[in-house]
Structure 1
Amino acid sequence: MMHYSEQEWMKYVKNELAKDVREEFEHHLYSCDQCLDTYLLAVEAEEALLPKISNEVDFTDLVMTQITKTKVEKHKAEEKKKRFYHSSIFHYSIAAAMTILLMTTGVFQSITQYAENVQSPSFQGKNPSMTEGLVNKTFAWMDTFSMNMKEDK
Protein backbone atom coordinates (compact mmCIF):
# COMPACT_ATOMS: atom_id res chain seq x y z
CA MET A 1 0.00 0.00 0.00
CA MET A 2 1.32 3.45 -0.91
CA HIS A 3 1.70 5.96 1.95
CA TYR A 4 1.79 9.73 1.67
CA SER A 5 4.61 11.74 3.25
CA GLU A 6 4.21 14.26 6.05
CA GLN A 7 4.87 17.12 3.61
CA GLU A 8 1.98 15.92 1.41
CA TRP A 9 -0.31 15.77 4.43
CA MET A 10 0.79 19.29 5.40
CA LYS A 11 -0.26 20.48 1.92
CA TYR A 12 -3.59 18.72 2.45
CA VAL A 13 -4.09 20.39 5.85
CA LYS A 14 -3.20 23.82 4.41
CA ASN A 15 -5.66 23.20 1.52
CA GLU A 16 -2.92 23.54 -1.12
CA LEU A 17 -4.03 20.53 -3.19
CA ALA A 18 -6.44 20.27 -6.09
CA LYS A 19 -9.95 19.02 -5.37
CA ASP A 20 -9.51 15.61 -7.03
CA VAL A 21 -6.19 15.04 -5.20
CA ARG A 22 -7.83 16.01 -1.91
CA GLU A 23 -10.57 13.41 -2.54
CA GLU A 24 -7.89 10.75 -3.14
CA PHE A 25 -6.27 11.68 0.16
CA GLU A 26 -9.62 11.48 1.97
CA HIS A 27 -10.39 8.04 0.54
CA HIS A 28 -6.92 6.89 1.50
CA LEU A 29 -7.50 7.97 5.11
CA TYR A 30 -10.40 5.51 5.41
CA SER A 31 -8.17 2.52 4.78
CA CYS A 32 -4.71 3.46 6.07
CA ASP A 33 -4.05 3.86 9.80
CA GLN A 34 -0.42 4.87 9.28
CA CYS A 35 -1.39 7.81 7.06
CA LEU A 36 -4.14 8.72 9.50
CA ASP A 37 -1.53 9.07 12.25
CA THR A 38 0.64 11.18 9.93
CA TYR A 39 -2.36 13.35 9.06
CA LEU A 40 -3.17 13.90 12.75
CA LEU A 41 0.45 14.96 13.37
CA ALA A 42 0.20 17.45 10.49
CA VAL A 43 -3.04 18.85 11.92
CA GLU A 44 -1.43 19.25 15.35
CA ALA A 45 1.57 21.04 13.81
CA GLU A 46 -0.69 23.38 11.84
CA GLU A 47 -2.94 23.94 14.86
CA ALA A 48 -0.18 25.85 16.63
CA LEU A 49 -0.12 28.39 13.79
CA LEU A 50 -3.86 29.09 13.95
CA PRO A 51 -5.09 32.11 15.94
CA LYS A 52 -6.56 31.45 19.36
CA ILE A 53 -10.29 31.96 19.90
CA SER A 54 -10.78 34.46 22.70
CA ASN A 55 -14.37 33.63 23.61
CA GLU A 56 -15.21 30.05 22.64
CA VAL A 57 -18.82 30.18 23.87
CA ASP A 58 -19.71 33.19 21.69
CA PHE A 59 -17.95 31.60 18.73
CA THR A 60 -19.93 28.37 19.20
CA ASP A 61 -23.20 30.29 19.48
CA LEU A 62 -22.40 32.23 16.31
CA VAL A 63 -21.66 29.06 14.36
CA MET A 64 -24.83 27.36 15.61
CA THR A 65 -26.91 30.41 14.66
CA GLN A 66 -25.50 30.38 11.15
CA ILE A 67 -26.20 26.66 10.82
CA THR A 68 -29.79 27.19 11.93
CA LYS A 69 -30.26 30.06 9.46
CA THR A 70 -28.87 27.93 6.66
CA LYS A 71 -31.23 25.08 7.50
CA VAL A 72 -34.24 27.40 7.64
CA GLU A 73 -33.31 29.03 4.31
CA LYS A 74 -32.83 25.61 2.72
CA HIS A 75 -36.21 24.45 4.06
CA LYS A 76 -37.94 27.57 2.69
CA ALA A 77 -36.29 27.07 -0.69
CA GLU A 78 -37.52 23.46 -0.77
CA GLU A 79 -41.06 24.57 0.07
CA LYS A 80 -41.01 27.09 -2.77
CA LYS A 81 -39.86 24.41 -5.20
CA LYS A 82 -42.66 22.05 -4.16
CA ARG A 83 -44.92 21.39 -7.12
CA PHE A 84 -48.69 21.73 -6.83
CA TYR A 85 -49.20 18.03 -7.54
CA HIS A 86 -47.11 17.12 -4.49
CA SER A 87 -49.63 18.67 -2.11
CA SER A 88 -52.22 16.70 -0.17
CA ILE A 89 -55.10 18.88 -1.35
CA PHE A 90 -54.31 17.91 -4.94
CA HIS A 91 -54.48 14.19 -4.09
CA TYR A 92 -57.76 14.61 -2.17
CA SER A 93 -59.24 16.57 -5.07
CA ILE A 94 -58.32 13.83 -7.54
CA ALA A 95 -59.81 11.16 -5.25
CA ALA A 96 -63.06 13.14 -4.85
CA ALA A 97 -63.32 13.72 -8.60
CA MET A 98 -62.78 10.02 -9.34
CA THR A 99 -65.41 9.05 -6.75
CA ILE A 100 -67.98 11.41 -8.27
CA LEU A 101 -67.15 10.15 -11.76
CA LEU A 102 -67.55 6.50 -10.74
CA MET A 103 -70.79 7.24 -8.91
CA THR A 104 -72.37 9.07 -11.85
CA THR A 105 -71.39 6.39 -14.36
CA GLY A 106 -72.93 3.64 -12.21
CA VAL A 107 -69.78 1.64 -11.63
CA PHE A 108 -70.47 1.28 -7.90
CA GLN A 109 -74.03 0.10 -8.59
CA SER A 110 -72.84 -2.62 -10.95
CA ILE A 111 -70.27 -3.70 -8.38
CA THR A 112 -72.97 -4.05 -5.68
CA GLN A 113 -75.17 -6.10 -8.05
CA TYR A 114 -72.22 -8.36 -8.79
CA ALA A 115 -71.59 -8.76 -5.04
CA GLU A 116 -75.25 -9.70 -4.48
CA ASN A 117 -74.98 -12.35 -7.19
CA VAL A 118 -71.87 -13.78 -5.61
CA GLN A 119 -73.55 -13.94 -2.20
CA SER A 120 -76.78 -15.52 -3.51
CA PRO A 121 -77.27 -19.24 -2.76
CA SER A 122 -77.72 -20.09 -6.45
CA PHE A 123 -74.21 -18.85 -7.19
CA GLN A 124 -72.63 -20.65 -4.27
CA GLY A 125 -71.78 -24.29 -4.73
CA LYS A 126 -74.52 -26.87 -4.01
CA ASN A 127 -72.07 -29.39 -2.62
CA PRO A 128 -71.74 -29.22 1.16
CA SER A 129 -68.31 -28.70 2.57
CA MET A 130 -66.26 -31.66 3.68
CA THR A 131 -66.77 -30.80 7.34
CA GLU A 132 -70.52 -30.48 6.91
CA GLY A 133 -70.64 -33.86 5.11
CA LEU A 134 -68.64 -35.49 7.90
CA VAL A 135 -70.95 -34.04 10.56
CA ASN A 136 -74.04 -35.22 8.64
CA LYS A 137 -72.65 -38.76 8.28
CA THR A 138 -71.74 -38.85 11.98
CA PHE A 139 -75.26 -37.82 13.01
CA ALA A 140 -76.79 -40.36 10.60
CA TRP A 141 -74.61 -43.11 12.05
CA MET A 142 -75.54 -42.08 15.62
CA ASP A 143 -79.24 -42.10 14.68
CA THR A 144 -79.02 -45.60 13.20
CA PHE A 145 -77.03 -46.77 16.21
CA SER A 146 -79.62 -45.40 18.66
CA MET A 147 -82.44 -46.95 16.56
CA ASN A 148 -80.69 -50.32 16.66
CA MET A 149 -80.31 -50.01 20.43
CA LYS A 150 -84.06 -49.31 20.83
CA GLU A 151 -84.99 -52.30 18.66
CA ASP A 152 -82.79 -54.63 20.68
CA LYS A 153 -84.57 -53.72 23.90
Structure 2
Amino acid sequence: MNHLSIDDKKRLAQSYIDGTCTKEQERTWEAFLIDDSEAIDLHIQLLSSMELRMPILTDSVQFTNDVMSKLPTQLYESDMNSFEHKRRWYELPIFHYTVAACITILFMTTGMFDMLIPGKLDVIEQRQSQPVSDQMMDMTITWLDQLKR
Protein backbone atom coordinates (compact mmCIF):
# COMPACT_ATOMS: atom_id res chain seq x y z
CA MET A 1 0.00 0.00 0.00
CA ASN A 2 2.86 2.39 0.68
CA HIS A 3 3.96 2.29 -2.96
CA LEU A 4 2.53 5.76 -3.76
CA SER A 5 4.64 8.89 -3.44
CA ILE A 6 3.58 11.70 -1.16
CA ASP A 7 2.45 13.80 -4.15
CA ASP A 8 0.31 10.92 -5.45
CA LYS A 9 -1.18 10.46 -2.01
CA LYS A 10 -1.91 14.17 -1.84
CA ARG A 11 -3.67 14.15 -5.23
CA LEU A 12 -5.64 11.04 -4.29
CA ALA A 13 -6.65 12.55 -0.95
CA GLN A 14 -7.70 15.82 -2.59
CA SER A 15 -9.83 14.04 -5.18
CA TYR A 16 -11.35 11.90 -2.39
CA ILE A 17 -12.26 14.99 -0.35
CA ASP A 18 -13.61 16.82 -3.42
CA GLY A 19 -15.64 13.75 -4.39
CA THR A 20 -14.13 13.49 -7.88
CA CYS A 21 -12.38 10.14 -7.52
CA THR A 22 -13.56 6.81 -8.91
CA LYS A 23 -14.83 3.96 -6.76
CA GLU A 24 -11.50 2.17 -7.09
CA GLN A 25 -9.57 5.27 -6.02
CA GLU A 26 -12.00 5.71 -3.15
CA ARG A 27 -11.39 2.16 -1.91
CA THR A 28 -7.63 2.63 -2.28
CA TRP A 29 -7.63 5.85 -0.26
CA GLU A 30 -9.83 4.35 2.45
CA ALA A 31 -7.41 1.43 2.71
CA PHE A 32 -4.55 3.94 3.07
CA LEU A 33 -6.47 5.71 5.83
CA ILE A 34 -6.83 2.44 7.72
CA ASP A 35 -3.23 1.27 7.34
CA ASP A 36 -1.04 4.36 6.94
CA SER A 37 -0.67 7.01 9.67
CA GLU A 38 0.97 9.36 7.16
CA ALA A 39 -2.20 9.19 5.04
CA ILE A 40 -4.33 10.09 8.06
CA ASP A 41 -2.12 13.11 8.80
CA LEU A 42 -2.31 14.20 5.17
CA HIS A 43 -6.09 13.76 5.13
CA ILE A 44 -6.52 15.85 8.30
CA GLN A 45 -4.20 18.53 6.91
CA LEU A 46 -6.17 18.76 3.65
CA LEU A 47 -9.48 18.90 5.51
CA SER A 48 -8.16 21.72 7.70
CA SER A 49 -6.97 23.70 4.68
CA MET A 50 -10.32 23.13 2.98
CA GLU A 51 -12.12 24.48 6.02
CA LEU A 52 -10.39 27.83 5.55
CA ARG A 53 -11.55 27.99 1.91
CA MET A 54 -15.21 27.35 2.74
CA PRO A 55 -17.58 30.33 2.63
CA ILE A 56 -18.84 31.67 5.94
CA LEU A 57 -22.45 30.77 6.61
CA THR A 58 -24.13 34.05 7.51
CA ASP A 59 -27.78 33.05 7.68
CA SER A 60 -28.04 29.49 8.93
CA VAL A 61 -31.82 29.64 9.26
CA GLN A 62 -32.24 30.61 5.61
CA PHE A 63 -29.80 27.89 4.57
CA THR A 64 -31.77 25.30 6.55
CA ASN A 65 -35.05 26.48 5.03
CA ASP A 66 -33.59 26.29 1.51
CA VAL A 67 -32.37 22.74 2.06
CA MET A 68 -35.67 21.64 3.59
CA SER A 69 -37.69 23.17 0.74
CA LYS A 70 -35.69 21.15 -1.79
CA LEU A 71 -36.50 17.84 -0.12
CA PRO A 72 -39.39 15.88 -1.64
CA THR A 73 -42.11 15.88 1.02
CA GLN A 74 -44.87 14.28 -1.04
CA LEU A 75 -42.94 11.05 -1.46
CA TYR A 76 -42.52 10.53 2.27
CA GLU A 77 -46.12 11.41 3.12
CA SER A 78 -47.53 9.00 0.56
CA ASP A 79 -45.26 6.21 1.83
CA MET A 80 -46.44 6.74 5.40
CA ASN A 81 -50.11 6.73 4.39
CA SER A 82 -49.76 3.55 2.35
CA PHE A 83 -47.92 1.89 5.24
CA GLU A 84 -50.76 2.60 7.68
CA HIS A 85 -53.37 1.18 5.31
CA LYS A 86 -51.40 -2.03 4.80
CA ARG A 87 -51.32 -2.96 8.50
CA ARG A 88 -52.88 -6.29 9.22
CA TRP A 89 -55.38 -6.76 12.03
CA TYR A 90 -52.92 -8.72 14.15
CA GLU A 91 -50.41 -5.85 13.95
CA LEU A 92 -52.74 -3.40 15.65
CA PRO A 93 -51.91 -2.44 19.25
CA ILE A 94 -55.47 -3.18 20.44
CA PHE A 95 -55.01 -6.81 19.36
CA HIS A 96 -51.81 -7.08 21.39
CA TYR A 97 -53.44 -5.55 24.48
CA THR A 98 -56.41 -7.90 24.17
CA VAL A 99 -54.20 -10.96 23.89
CA ALA A 100 -52.12 -9.80 26.87
CA ALA A 101 -55.26 -9.24 28.96
CA CYS A 102 -56.63 -12.68 28.06
CA ILE A 103 -53.36 -14.39 28.96
CA THR A 104 -53.24 -12.50 32.27
CA ILE A 105 -56.79 -13.54 33.14
CA LEU A 106 -55.98 -17.13 32.19
CA PHE A 107 -52.92 -17.13 34.46
CA MET A 108 -54.89 -15.58 37.31
CA THR A 109 -57.71 -18.12 37.12
CA THR A 110 -55.42 -21.14 36.85
CA GLY A 111 -53.24 -20.02 39.76
CA MET A 112 -50.14 -19.66 37.63
CA PHE A 113 -49.08 -16.52 39.52
CA ASP A 114 -49.33 -18.42 42.83
CA MET A 115 -46.80 -20.94 41.52
CA LEU A 116 -44.23 -18.20 40.93
CA ILE A 117 -43.60 -17.78 44.68
CA PRO A 118 -42.00 -20.88 46.21
CA GLY A 119 -43.02 -22.12 49.63
CA LYS A 120 -46.22 -22.15 51.60
CA LEU A 121 -48.43 -19.12 51.47
CA ASP A 122 -49.99 -18.02 54.74
CA VAL A 123 -53.66 -17.38 54.32
CA ILE A 124 -55.12 -14.60 56.41
CA GLU A 125 -58.27 -15.85 58.06
CA GLN A 126 -61.16 -13.48 58.12
CA ARG A 127 -62.88 -13.08 61.44
CA GLN A 128 -66.60 -13.28 61.44
CA SER A 129 -67.85 -9.80 62.16
CA GLN A 130 -71.08 -8.01 61.71
CA PRO A 131 -71.32 -5.94 58.53
CA VAL A 132 -70.84 -2.19 58.91
CA SER A 133 -74.37 -1.49 57.69
CA ASP A 134 -75.81 -3.71 60.44
CA GLN A 135 -73.66 -2.00 63.04
CA MET A 136 -74.90 1.41 61.87
CA MET A 137 -78.51 0.18 62.03
CA ASP A 138 -78.03 -1.05 65.59
CA MET A 139 -76.49 2.25 66.66
CA THR A 140 -79.33 4.20 65.03
CA ILE A 141 -82.00 2.05 66.69
CA THR A 142 -80.30 2.42 70.08
CA TRP A 143 -80.10 6.17 69.64
CA LEU A 144 -83.79 6.40 68.64
CA ASP A 145 -84.78 4.28 71.68
CA GLN A 146 -82.90 6.64 73.96
CA LEU A 147 -84.68 9.63 72.41
CA LYS A 148 -88.11 8.07 73.06
CA ARG A 149 -87.43 7.67 76.79
- Give the TM bin, normalised by the shorter chain: 0.3 to 0.5
Question: More helix by proportion, 1 or 2?
Answer: 1
What TM-score, normalized by structure 2, do the two folds share? 0.41
Structure of greater relative contact order (alpha carbons < 8 Å, 6+ residues apart)? 1
